[in-house]
Structure 1
Amino acid sequence: MHRLLFALDPETAHERTLDLLALWSERGPLLEAPARCLRVEDPRLRVEAWGLSFPNPLGLAAGMDKDARALGAWWALGFGFAEVGTLTPRPQEGNPRPRLFRLLEDRALINRMGFNNRGAQAAAERLARFRERGLAFPVGVNLGKNRDTPLERAAEDYLEALRVLEPYGDYFVLNVSSPNTPGLRTLQEGPFLDELLARLRPATAKPLLLKVAPDLSPEALDQVVALSLKHRLQGLVAVNTTLSREGLRSPLAREAGGLSGRPLKGRALEVLRHLAQAPLTLVSVGGVEGPEDVWERLKAGARLVQVYTGFVYGGPLFPRRTLKGLLRLMEAEGVRALRELWA
């Protein structure tokens, strides 16, 4: 089945997969029975962050399930949490197709989706239904602005999306680092970010995080940290997709958009190690392909680790294989539980 999906256009494959997973998510016992075989339930993997309990540190990154359609399936496949979105206050179509490309030679993706989503209200309704099921599965919500909203009014979009979704998310992430919405990355700059955080932080008592780009200089990363601490954010998600094309072999490398997957691995780890000097809870994402990457990120200072492209290439058993492998690595190094890393 995984091979068959790779024979399809990437976005068509994504849509068909999500349709199936969304259908499966609504199937109650037909979801829970396979979950007993797929999920790796082991107290050694438990992670505590922001007052939330995560059954394991491996999460699904934003972008895979923008509209919160398949949350039950992500739980059943073995993820410890999922982040939905990016969600904007109003529905939007995103950029014209084609806008998603597989770089097979590089085990990478390029996307220029442009925050295509059905809007905050539709996602809030799905999240409310998911909450009624009572699964112990933290869900983060990634927030963005609509494409046609001017930068000077961006905070209004984030505030409106947060207002609609605030009752249903366990934590919230401000996406100011996607390269596919014109001008969005300007919001990472000092004056814009300072104003945005000043308005957003008082709007929720729930954990609020910021997603940062991998293309920022060390000085710019330090400024992001300083403003995050100033406005009492609970953490950072590092990193988003990159505009760099260094070292790529695929003929599709010239496509515009954000690059994710294996080529981002080194830079994601570099940014993580730089940010780990700050007293913020870090979520690492970018180039995660298996248990060795998860273990390396946890030891480098991440509390949680997310995957997107590695899951696309790794298939539905990726979470189980990765968590089983993580337990073996922990045993080899004499780590009895992940909490020992942060004691």
Structure 2
Amino acid sequence: MYKLVKPIFFSMNPEQAHHVVTGGIKALTKIWGAKSLLRSIYTVDDPRLTREVFGLTFKNPVGLAAGFDKNAEYIDDMAKFGFGFIEIGTVTPRPQPGNDKPRMFRLVSDEALINRMGFNNQGADVAAGRLQFLKNKEGVIIGGNIGKNKMTPNEEAVNDYIYCFHALYDHVDYFVVNVSSPNTPGLRDLQEKEPLMHILHTLQELNRAKPTAKPILLKIAPDLTDSQLDDIIEIVTTTQIAGVIATNTTISRDGLQSDAHLVREAGGVSGRPLTARSTEVIRYLSEKSNKAFPIIGVGGVHSAEDALEKLDAGAALIQLYTGFIYEGPGLIGDICKAILRR
């Protein structure tokens, strides 16, 4: 089915296609019987897929990565495709339009995307309002990916993460601290040891003061050196956050085959070119830390084999985004079935 309509979507500007697809899915799920039909086609229900990770029960290990549903608008709809968890955001305290358009580009020859969206979202309060009235999430775990506003200076960034934490705390199952997007100026500087320790320590203090602490994860870039990854291991174990998401998009352009004018576009690359590097980062973190914390693997998952490689490298869970765009919703079930066959 998806192969028939994919050429239509790929004839559009990528951002326009995203809005057409999400709007179409929302309209479809309003039709009587459509939700049950989607569930019967795409969902793989089997208790053997259940995973207990950082204190949460995931009905399966395949999730939708942040960026697809920035404003918590499509959780009920996307759940029908069989995701075990859905991560909203990146959410910032105040609404912001993001970077100027065009800001997303398809590299079809590389099965990749370049994006420089810039945390375009409607703000933490709007997302919290939608989550408050969410009714039918089908047992899907919800993560909240949080970041800072573009105009917030780095020395005040912790306040933005605090605001988002308080706004979303009652409505999400886990948090992700995003300091690794390449599309907000200076954001990746917060991956340095001192500022990152400050942000995570502060959030953990607030978290421990709550009646029930919620898992806090850190999303990291694939462009970190081994020495920087060693720092990440130390930071995670010192702050005792729940785990790591590896990885965000890359600023590398190595090996890309698409037209040079596209490759030169600013932004982060996702998709197939990230497959090997994200798996390498997962394996490094897992082995060097002696599996001290759970890892969610994301980056270049375009097939069940890609997912299995990340699980074998040490990931506890898997997330999709660009692979979902290129391969379609059947990829979720393919991964679940491959896990069951093992």
Q: CA deviation at 1:28?
A: 7.7
Structure 2: distance between partners of 1:53 and 1:248: 38
Give per-residue Cα distances to partners, 1:49-98, cap 9 Å, x unaligned. Answer: 12211111111111111111111122110111111100001110000000
- What secondary structure sits across from 1:302 in the alignment? coil
Letter in 2 for 1:207: P
Q: Is 1:99 aligned to 2:109, yes or no? A: no
Letter in 1 for 2:185: P
Q: Is 1:46 aligned to 2:56, yes or no? A: no
Give the 5 Å matches for 1:1-343.
1-24=5-28, 30-130=34-134, 132-133=135-136, 135-204=138-207, 205-251=213-259, 252-277=262-287, 278=289, 279-328=292-341, 330=342
Structure 1: distance between partners of 2:245 and 2:151: 25
- What secondary structure sits across from 2:316 in the alignment? strand
Q: CA deviation at 1:29?
A: 5.2
Q: CA deviation at 1:129?
A: 1.8
- What secondary structure sits across from 1:177 in the alignment? coil
Q: CA deviation at 1:134?
A: 5.7
User: What are the ranges of 5 or more consecutive residues in structure 1 without an aligned counterpart?
Assistant: 331-343
Structure 1: distance between partners of 2:87 and 2:227: 28
Q: CA deviation at 1:25?
A: 5.2
Structure 1: distance between partners of 2:132 and 2:29: 14
Q: CA deviation at 1:226?
A: 0.6
Identity of aligned residues (%): 47
User: What are the ranges of 5 or more consecutive residues in structure 2 without an aligned counterpart?
Assistant: 208-212
With structure 1 as the length reference, what TM-score do the two structures score?
0.92
* Structure 2 equivalent of residue 336 of structure 1: none
- What secondary structure sits across from 1:233 in the alignment? coil
Structure 2: distance between partners of 1:317 and 1:231: 38
- What secondary structure sits across from 1:219 in the alignment? helix
* Structure 2 equivalent of residue 338 of structure 1: none
Structure 1: distance between partners of 2:336 and 2:137: 23
**Do the aligned residues in 1 keep the contact of 2:94 with 2:124 (CA within 8 Å)?**
yes
Structure 2: distance between partners of 1:18 and 1:90: 23
* Structure 1 equivalent of residue 210 of structure 2: none
Letter in 2 for 1:271: V
With structure 2 as the length reference, what TM-score do the two structures score?
0.93
Letter in 2 for 1:98: P
**Do the aligned residues in 1 keep the contact of 2:304 with 2:331 (CA within 8 Å)?**
no
- What secondary structure sits across from 2:86 in the alignment? strand
Structure 2: distance between partners of 1:100 and 1:134: 29
Mean alpha-carbon deviation: is it higher for 43-52 or for 317-326? 317-326
Q: CA deviation at 1:309?
A: 0.6
RMSD: 1.4
